[in-house]
């Protein structure tokens, strides 16, 4: 059973870069796609993007190129960076495994607040 665990700062200042890492255990990151999904407080889920260990990525156009997902196969982890953050980026961020066409494994989620 693969397990995912998000880590990173819980508070980021406006205009700075949000950086999160997802550690994967119980399975190799070299198989399947991996991704990030976020949920603003009290709101619905929003897909951010996916990455394969080969480096292939795809992103939600709504991020307007502010988001970058990278993978480190040696550490069995992948990361998310969102630049120029605003209060609208405040959310619980979940890392996920994309198995075929569905998100079958989820991390617990980590709340990132954007505030000065």
Taking the complex as a whole, the smallest distance from the CB of residue 6 to another protein amounts, in Å, to 10
Task: Please report, as ranges, the residues that interact with another protein according to CB under 8 A.
Answer: 44-47, 50, 58-62, 94, 100-104, 106-109
Taking the complex as a whole, the smallest distance from the CB of residue 35 to another protein amounts, in Å, to 8
> Is the Cβ of residue 16 or residue 66 nearer to another protein in the bound state?
66
What's the half-sphere exposure (Cβ side, CA atoms, 13 Å) at 8? 26
> Is the Cβ of residue 10 or residue 116 nearer to another protein in the bound state?
10
Taking the complex as a whole, the smallest distance from the CB of residue 47 to another protein amounts, in Å, to 4
3 state DSSP class of 88: helix
How far, in Å, CA of 30 to CA of 101, rounded?
A: 17
Which among 25, 82, 12 is positioned nearest to 34, based on CA atoms?
25
């Amino acid at each position: 059973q693969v397990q995912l665990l998000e880590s990173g700062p819980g508070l980021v200042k406006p205009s700075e870069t949000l950086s999160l890492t997802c550690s994967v255990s119980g399975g190799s990151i070299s198989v399947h796609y991996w991704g990030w999904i976020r949920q603003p407080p009290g709101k619905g889920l929003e897909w951010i993007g996916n990455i394969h260990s080969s480096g292939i990525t795809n992103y939600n156009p709504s991020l307007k190129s502010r988001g970058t997902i990278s993978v480190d196969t040696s550490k069995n982890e992948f990361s998310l960076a969102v630049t120029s953050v605003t209060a609208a980026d405040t959310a619980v961020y979940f890392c996920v495994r994309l198995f075929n066409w569905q998100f079958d494994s989820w991390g617990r989620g980590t709340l990132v607040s954007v505030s000065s």
